[in-house]
Structure 1
Amino acid sequence: MKIELRAIQKSFGSLEALKPFSLTIPSGTFVSLLGPSGCGKTTLLRIIAGLEEADSGTIKMNDQIIYSNEKNIHLPPQKRGIGMVFQDFALWPHMTVFENVAYSLKATGKKKGLREKVDQALENVQLGDYRERYPHQLSGGQQQRVAIARAIANDPAVILMDEPLSALDATLRDEMRILLQSLVKRLNMTAIYVTHDQNEAMSMSDYVVVMNAGTLLQEGTPEDIYRYPQTKEVAAFIGKGTIWDGHLQTQGDETYLKVEADLCFPLTNNTAKIIHNEPCTIVVRPEHVRLSQLMFNGAQTGVIESVSFLGERYEVTFRVGQKEKRLFAYSYERFTPGQQIYFTILADSIHFIQPLGGITNETA
């Protein structure tokens, strides 16, 4: 089910929750709406579901208009072919697992083959043996599976999920991520997933939509969002990284990035037209910084600030230059806070954010 949003706008009194917002979601894709609390992502999800009405704009599903303020079209939620999974599970405590899942079918008048549909939905979430239990007899992860089974029992073309894993512990979240991904693909649904957790968004999604203050900052594959953020805001919100303002310097045929008077890095593969002393903003990801306890050609020095063990590697924070700017790196070698180290940044991995200086090349 392809979903098209055109100029969707929503205000609550003087608060503009969504500024004119346009987005196309291809059929069969898993799309995450990612952003901080209050950015408008849940409001947008509820508008798509029909639980909230936009002030203006148009929503289409496979070229059928389901909402248009101008044409006075507002298809009710039960007729949109949408399943919804909420953050708080929203299960009826006095109903069994079977009855909770069956409720969505009864509410939409789809009683034919009800038992078979409920049984299939429960099998899809691996709860076939839990039909007669009540919600209080289930773990948090099992309750969320019931909520998912209820959402897919109607065989919806679209499933909407509002931070469905936030109430679960880390291990359960990992298990549920895998389940949700496999279900969406196996059942060929279009999924829209609201989260403020970048790890969830990046690991689960075909596409990520980064939002803030009711606006769309950037959309793309997880890889593109991570590697080529278009704004400081996106770069800071997605993944670890160092964001520096600096100036491009030229000396003969060589180009350098000058961050501070004593902090300068050579650049390679530069295809942009360089103006001497042109301002720019760069993003350096930790995996593109090389550390060593021994001096090597072209290295600069820094002082270790902190070291965190992540299991497969260490996350290292260190200070560089007279103004002690912070830089992040990964290492398979253990360092000690206060220790002097030598480092270099892989020049062809530095990403330039476009707005400052007009730099449009992805690597410099």
Structure 2
Amino acid sequence: MFRYLDENMSTSQLAVSIASVIVAVGIVTLPRTAVEAVGTPDVWITFLLSGLIALGLVYICGKLTQRYPGQTFYEFNELIVGKFLGRFLSLFFAVYWLVLVSYEVRMNAEVIRFLLLEQTPIEVTIVCFMLVAQFSIVKGQSPLVRLCQMFFPITTIAILTIMLLGSNNFDIDNFRPLLREGIAPVFKGIPSSVLLYLGFEAILILAASTQDKRKITKAAIIGVCVPMVIYVVTLVMVIGILSPAEVKTLAWPTVEVIKEIEFPGSFFANFEILFIVVWVIEIFTTYTLGFYFASLGFSKVFQKEIKLFDYLFLPVVFFLAWYPADVNGVARLGDFLSNMAYFTSAVIPIVLLSVSYLRGGRHEEKTT
């Protein structure tokens, strides 16, 4: 059996890695998609409830991995449901990551074209990003985790600071009256809002190489709480500065808000450039880890070296990212990804944990 998780991670690295995978495209699309789903200013309540559901799901994933220490999802699912069904689930999980990174890199290219490179072909932006990321991907998991550990605190502080700089234009009346249309719209938007936390399934891979197995679930919960704070602050600031009605009409409302920020004394302008730099770093960490997870899955199933898939998947991801003709096509790719996420983040972990409990017993950590 090939073993690629060759270095132990600390629980803090696990938490930071999960948070890094979650915080990505959602930060620029969150306000619009959330308001469209709920239809009222009470969307912030929806997002808090969605966060609680995501915490429940990551708790389930954490408990599942703790029953099979030292093994990734690609290994322990075969112990639970058998080799044939287990390999099918592994391939489904790996394809999910391929679709996710394709969606991320295309959305990254769309936002960069919107703000900076309007005349540059989308293919050029996609290829440049992928080639740069490939240097990190082929190094394996440990360097990718260290990148997350290095960049995430910086990007978190930068994103929150940039958003709070717009507080001078914040209007609390945009949230009044509270629950104007009742509680029903709040619950209606929960299913789509939960999906903005997708990426926490990374725990099903990363937990295998975490040193302290007892703290895996706690670290994963922290890894979801930090993005929850970032998303809620972003959502509240964007709606408070604009309005629910205006947010619905903008493709990238978060970017539009940041473009309007003015630093006192005009010491610094063009905050959207700073934001894009920070945001691209987050996309980079999500993309590289997700690509690695996909390659790892196929290498486990087909018993081939992981580097084979690191290169084999380059044209696959490029095609999936390039194929949508426009932003509407990218949105449909996102919808397809969301449908897969219902299974990878909820259905599959819940079923596997239930079957594991019914079958009883725990498994010792692998040492070879």
Shorter-chain TM-score category? under 0.3
TM-score, length basis structure 1:
0.21
TM-score, length basis structure 2:
0.21
Larger helix proportion of the pair: 2
Larger strand proportion of the pair: 1
Q: Which has the higher contact order (CA 8 A, sep 6+)?
A: 2
Q: Could you say which structure has the larger radius of gyration? A: 1
